[in-house]
Structure 1
Amino acid sequence: MTEKPVEAQTFLAFDYGEKYIGVAVGSRHTRQAEPVTTLRGSAKNPDWTRLSRLIEEWRPDALVVGLPLNMDGSANPMSRAARAFGQRLQDRYNLPVHMADERLSTLAAREILNEAGVPMRRHKTRLDKVAAQTILQAYLNELPGETP
């Protein structure tokens, strides 16, 4: 089995939530993450049809799931749910799943939306996918190698 070249590695990232799951895409080559969409659902009942379409469309080499932790780094009930979601993704799509610390990702997403001039009333429809973008961007920033 041969590995894909480093620059070809694509990631789909997920900001897991009880009602919504934000999705972002990025690559090792560009080291840039972009928001994609927000799905309804949860670890117990995600929208598998839309998830499968996203996997088929983007053909990621790996998946990244935001891991909600307390500020002191300890786990909480949402940590377990996010890990369960990651495990279900791995089992279903047979792709590597990386858990990434998502502390402050929602706050960062709100700041991005504010700076972009998005009215507060429109944050709800964009917040989860922008949070997924911040999670993936932090993950890409931590990957070894040179930046473009």
Structure 2
Amino acid sequence: MKLKKATKNGIKLRIGLSGASGFGKTYSALLMAFGITSDWSKIAVIDTENESSNIYAHLGRFNVFSLKGQYGPQDYINAIKICENASMEVIIIDTITPEWKGAGGCLDIHRKSGGRFQDWSKVTPIHDSFIRAVQDSSCHIITTVM
């Protein structure tokens, strides 16, 4: 082990915003994203709330990827990859809540696997893959959660 000076090389931000519905999480995330990149065209919103991020289209021409119907960890991972491949600099995941408790999310996977304690062994690796996709992304990521 070695003590060394801190350097700021290639660091990507991971920011989480939490609050009740209507508290301004999406609006705040968009303003933060613009503060990070200064280019609306380099911001993507993975929108799980019926494209509600479009309410803020007046702010700038950001990109929206609508995630509908199924909210499994792999669905989120695929959406992140699409944004990365489109050369986005900031990805806003609005919201990550369905990945856990939405249709196709972790609780749904657990229930469909039998709902027993041992069935978490099937869910945990899938959820961990989602967490790794966020952590390892080449983009800054801002998540919202209710």
Q: Scaled by the length of structure 1, what TM-score is found?
A: 0.33
**More strand as a share of residues:** 1
Larger radius of gyration: 2
